[in-house]
Amino acid sequence: MTNKKKNIAVNPSWGGRFENAVNKLTVSYTSSIDVDKRLYEQDILGSLKYALALKEAKVIKNIDYLKISKGLKAILMEIESGRFQWKEELEDVHMNIEDALKRKAGNSAKKLHTGRSRNDQVSTDLRLFVLKSIDEMGELISNVQTTILDKAKRHYADLMPGFTHLQVAQPVTFGHHLMAWYEMLSRDFARLQDTKKRTSIMPLGSGALSGNRYNINRQKLAKRLNFDGISNNSIDAVSDRDFSIELLSNISILGMHLSRINEELILWSSSQFNYVDLPDEFCTGSSIMPQKKNPDVSELMRGGSARTISNLMGLLTLMKGLPLAYNRDMQEDKNFVFDSLDYSKSSLELLSLIIKRMIVNTKKMKEDCQLGHITATELADYLVLKGLPFRKAHEVVGKIVAFANKNHIQIFEVELGKLRKFSKFISEDVFTFIKPEEAIKNKNSIGGTSPKEVLKQIRNAKKRIASRK
C-alpha cells in the first residue's frame, strides 16, 4: 500500500491513468528541469508558432490563440527577468511552461498540446538550439581566425624553426605557422556549417511517433521556425539524435585542434623555448615557487578536449541500443550537448584573447634557426639544382651532417674546402643558398612559407572570412 505522505501529487498532464501518487524519489530521479530549462526560448517559440498553426487549421479559436500567445510572451519575459519559478515536480521545461500558461490563459492553454507530444516538441527545441549554437560557434571561430590573421600579418616574415617529431626540421616564418592554425579552424567552421543542413529539419507535427491528424500545415510551420525542411517519417523524427551526434563529432575535432594549438602555446611559453610570453591574466602562479607563471588556461583548454570526446562517446553509447521510437534514455542527450557547447564557446573566446595579447619573441625564434642543421634539406636542393639526383644529394648531405655533428658545428659552419670533399658540385654560392633567410624566400609555391606567399594566404583568408557575413 502506498504511503501518500511520502509521495507527491501526480503530474496533471499525464496522471489520468494512475491510482497512486508518484514517489518523490521517482520525481527527483526523472526530472530534467535543471538541464533542459536552457531550451525555454526555443520551447516558447515553437509553442507560439504551433498555436498559430492550430488556429489556421481551425483546431482552436482565435480567442484561444490570442490568450496562448499573450501568455507565452509573458512567461518569456518572466524567465528572462529571473522571476520565473521552475518546479522539479513538473519534470521538464515543457511542463513547467505549460503549467504556467494554464494560470495565464486558463482553459485555452489546455488546447495548445493538441496533436503534439513532448517527443516532437523536445526534438524541435533541441534542433533550434543547436542551429542557434552553430551560428554562435561560427562567429567565435571567425573571431579567433581574425585574431590569428592580425598576428600572422605582423610576423609574416619573422623566422622560426619548423618542427617534425618536435625536432628542428626546416625554417619557416611565424606567420606561416599561424596560418596553419587558421586553416584547421576553417575546416572546423565548414563542418559545423554543413551540419546545419541535416539539423534544419523540423520534427514538429510528428506527434508521439505516428504523426498529426489535425491537418497542420507543416511546411508553413517549418518556414515560420526558420527550418529548411520537414521530417519525412514521424518515427524517425522523434527517435533519432544523429544531428546532435554530428555536432559533438565536429566539436570533438574542434577540441582536438584547440588542444594542439594550446599545446604549442604551452611549449613555446616554456623557458626551454621562450618563443612567446603569455598574458598574465590568462596564467596563474605557484603556491610554493614564487617565480612560476603557469599557462593554466591553455592547459585546461588542452584538457577540455577530453570532455568533448567523452561527450561524443557518451551520446553514441546512449543511442546505440535504443529501439524506435522515443525512449526516456534520450533525456540524457542534452547533458552531452550543452557541456560540449559550453566548453568550446568559452575556449574560443579565451583563445582569441590569448593570441591577441601574447608577446612574440622573434629574436629567440631567429636564433634557433641556427640550430639543428635546419637548412640541410636546402643543401640537398642546392645539389639537385647543380645536377645531382635527389637521393644521391640526400646521402651527401647526410654525411655532411654527420661530419658537422662530430665537430660540434652547424653545416653552414663547415669550411668550403671540406664541403667540396663531399661533393664537387658544391661551390662558394652554397653559403648564400643555405641561409635560413634565403631558404624561406625560395619556398614560393602556393601554400609555401615565403613571406610573399604568406601575405597572399593572409589576403585570401580575409576574403574568405568576409564572405561568411
Residues belonging to the active site: 165, 286
- Beta carbons of 172 and 162 less than 8 angstroms apart: yes
Say which residue the cell 667540396 belongs to: 420
Segments in 280-435 forming alpha helices (H): 296-319, 333-357, 362-368, 376-385, 390-406, 416-422, 430-433
Q: How far is CA 350 from the centre of its chain?
A: 13
State the number of CA atoms in the 13 A half-sphere of 271 facing the CB.
4
Residue 181 is which amino acid? W
- Beta carbons of 71 and 65 less than 8 angstroms apart: no
Distance CA 22, CA 6 (A): 9
Concatenated DSSP letters of 184-235: HHHHHHHHHHHHHHHH-EE-TT-TTTT--SS---HHHHHHHTT-SEE-S-HH
DSSP 8-state class, residue 350: H
Distance CA 138, CA 134 (A): 6
